[in-house]
Amino acid sequence: MLSVARIAVLSDNYVWLLHDDASGETVVIDPAVAEPVLAAAAERGWTISQIWNTHWHGDHVGGNAAIKAATGCRITGPAAEAAKIGTLDRQVGEGDEVHIGGHVATVMEVPAHTAGHIAYHLASDRIIFVGDTLFAMGCGRLFEGTADQMFANMARFAALPDETAVYCAHEYTQGNGRFALTIEPDNEALAARMAEVDEARARGEATVPTTIGLERATNIFMRANDVQELARRRRAKDTA
């Protein structure tokens, strides 16, 4: 059985701890910082054995070195961004596999937010760690890639089973949803979800993980009909 723990750090980042009860292994996904991550693992009695990075941005790799120094863990990340992530022990790309105990995660190359961005898909466990590519009701900014790439990413994600749990790296849901309602004001599923999100945030609760099914119904970028529509929506969101 896999357990996932959410660690809120910085202003709106989430670091994820993925723990396999059978082997005792624990993976950190995208550690922005080290101390809260080490503390969260220690509190649970979990031993960190690996770090999986999705891309090179500092708020996703900033804790790598300190966590490795404290635990001796092995760090895996995108081969295409190895020059920007100096702490990698293993470089991976499309179709490569990483393991936690007996569980397998397949690497998906999903460039757009950064040129070498990857996701980790544990198909048998219905889990995917998407970094800054897919958000609850949103997608990442196109810093180093194109709308064509992001459109292709959205199609790949949309093809996954609806029950797949999506672990993204930021608490952007409320802002994403408010913008989405300006694009699809008649989307009843979106309106209902936003009511739930507003209530959750008023209580100080997190709104992720999400699911592929929920994103198919409410994410305006996943629901874009073509590349041009996604690009228009992304430009509008950038200036909103």
> Using CB atoms within 10 A of its CB, is residue 184 exposed (0-12), middle (13-18) or buried (19+)?
middle
Known catalytic residue at 103:
no
State the catalytic residue, choosing from 113, 117, 121, 125. Answer: 113
Residue 159 falls in which region: left (phi positive, over 0), alpha (psi -120 to 50) or beta:
alpha
State the catalytic residue, choosing from 19, 103, 121, 170. Answer: 170
State the catalytic residue, choosing from 19, 60, 103, 117. Answer: 60
Q: Are 208 and 167 in contact (CB under 8 A)?
A: yes
The Cβ of residue 62 has, within 10 Å, a number of other Cβ atoms equal to: 17
Known catalytic residue at 132:
yes
Known catalytic residue at 59:
yes
- Amino acid code (one letter) for 44: R
Known catalytic residue at 113:
yes
Known catalytic residue at 55:
yes
Euclidean distance between CA atoms 143 and 10, whole angstroms: 21
State the catalytic residue, choosing from 19, 59, 103, 125. Answer: 59
State the catalytic residue, choosing from 19, 30, 57, 103. Answer: 57
State the catalytic residue, choosing from 55, 103, 117, 121. Answer: 55
Euclidean distance between CA atoms 14 and 233, whole angstroms: 25
Euclidean distance between CA atoms 143 and 157, whole angstroms: 20
Euclidean distance between CA atoms 206 and 211, whole angstroms: 14
Which residues belong to the active site? 55, 57, 59-60, 113, 132, 170
